[in-house]
Amino acid sequence: MKTFDERYDAIVVGARCAGAATAMLLARQGMRVLLFDRDRRGADTLSTLALMRAGVLQLHRWQLLDAVRRAGTPAIPSTSFVYGDEVITVPIKPRDGVDALFSPRRTVLDPILADAAVAAGADVRYGPRLVDVLRDASDRVVGVVIEDRDRSLHQVNAGIVIGADGLRSTVARQVEAATYRQGRHKCGVVYAFWRGLGNAGTWWHYRPGVSVGVIPTNDDDSCIFVAMPSAQFSNGIQTDMEAGYRRLLSECAPSLGRELSSRAPSERFRGFPGWLGHMRQSHGPGWALVGDAGYFKDPITAHGISDALRDAELLARAVVQGSDRALAEYQSTRDELSRELFEITDAIAGFEWDLDTLKPLHLRLSRAMNTEVEALVALDVPRPARSDPPGDRPFLAGDPAR
């Protein structure tokens, strides 16, 4: 089994959208990066896959959108909102190199990002599991303890340890990252994949107490989810997910419910009971968090992957600058861009809306997403170099300050 180097500039735990993207960006900047995940390469994960414009824009800016297309991911030309019987269709306007949306399977997207990290020179491993972080005498995180697939334990040092290890982040727990904001509401979700529906575009259906999304993805499948208050999922739906799914689908999107009533999905029904949104302290001495590890909101607005791709870049830029101030700015920019998204998502996840109060929430959401896209586009505008104050240290392995 290949051993680990003794020291890396950065170690990234978790090799999906947040971690693989961060590792790729750091490696592209010449840093020596270890990216590892306890899961296997290309494994699926719970997700209804929809990327927002910001997420597609990131893939385009990183020259990875072609790989997503080549994998057979269908281009999505429009998004339709169905409020009861009223349909509002919004075409995707070509802008900033994005002329369609895409919703790749995670078995497609996550390996594309990880392969790009490999191509940039990162050391990428599947199977090893983070068991602990290493600290120096001043309590700074200086590395990790990894259990490899053969159960051997390895101590590996790094300039920075980045937790991209998801909702139940071990890194967040080990560094005792404080949660400073929590959502109030959570949704239960049941979803399945349906082949050959021939639907162009993404469809979002709403009726009081229930929401349905239809999201075209690879292999001529559409991911169709039903979202409901978490309590409803736990008190009944989860004991027979298929029956609950079909009933709620017919209630919210009757013609779709009829169309699918005599058909079987191409894969099993999957369920998610819900999880309250959180914003966590996402940097400290020698460590940082990105993706769901640091910031999670309910999947009802289908924004987690797009935010993970956004924050991967914000964090990578801060790590390359190598100062504590840059890391603090990473967190404050993330929060500034996320606050509105977080609040609106929480309100929608509460299902306390009716169709009249939902529309303004969607308009606010759309404005917040535009702000997010503008912030990403602005990253490409050259800025004057900034000199960080003395004492700020880059995380490079050869840095004599370490």
Binding positions for ligand FAD, rule: CB under 6 A: 13-14, 16-19, 36-39, 45-50, 129-130, 164-166, 170, 189, 272, 291-293, 299, 302-306, 308
Looking at the Cβ atoms of 4 and 323, the one nearer to ligand FAD is 4
The distance of closest approach from Cβ of residue 384 to ligand FAD in the complex, given in angstroms and rounded to an integer, is: 32
Report how far residue 15's alpha carbon sits from residue 145's, in angstroms, rounded to the nearest whole number. Answer: 17
The distance of closest approach from Cβ of residue 304 to ligand FAD in the complex, given in angstroms and rounded to an integer, is: 2
Helix (H, G, I), strand (E, B) or coil at 243: helix
Looking at the Cβ atoms of 246 and 297, the one nearer to ligand FAD is 297
Report how far residue 273's alpha carbon sits from residue 51's, in angstroms, rounded to the nearest whole number. Answer: 22
The distance of closest approach from Cβ of residue 71 to ligand FAD in the complex, given in angstroms and rounded to an integer, is: 17
Looking at the Cβ atoms of 113 and 323, the one nearer to ligand FAD is 113
Number of alpha helices (DSSP H) and beta strands (DSSP E) in the chain: 11, 18
Looking at the Cβ atoms of 62 and 272, the one nearer to ligand FAD is 272
Q: Do residues 129 and 42 touch, judged by C-beta distance below 8 A?
A: no
The distance of closest approach from Cβ of residue 140 to ligand FAD in the complex, given in angstroms and rounded to an integer, is: 21
Looking at the Cβ atoms of 31 and 290, the one nearer to ligand FAD is 290
Looking at the Cβ atoms of 170 and 323, the one nearer to ligand FAD is 170
Secondary element (H or E) of residue 275: none
Q: What would you measure as the largest C-alpha separation in the chain, in angstroms?
A: 68
Looking at the Cβ atoms of 45 and 155, the one nearer to ligand FAD is 45
Angle at 191 between CA 195 and CA 88, to 5 degrees: 80
The distance of closest approach from Cβ of residue 89 to ligand FAD in the complex, given in angstroms and rounded to an integer, is: 19
Exposure b/e, 101-130, CB count within 10 A at least 16 = b: bbbbbbebbbbbbbbbbbebebbbbbbbbb
The distance of closest approach from Cβ of residue 313 to ligand FAD in the complex, given in angstroms and rounded to an integer, is: 14
Report how far residue 118's alpha carbon sits from residue 33's, in angstroms, rounded to the nearest whole number. Answer: 10
What distance, in Å, lies between the first and last C-alpha atoms of the chain?
Answer: 29
- Residue in the block written with tokens 């370490």: 402
Measure Cα distances from 204 to 76, 88, 249, 255, 321 in Å: 13, 10, 12, 14, 41
The distance of closest approach from Cβ of residue 114 to ligand FAD in the complex, given in angstroms and rounded to an integer, is: 10
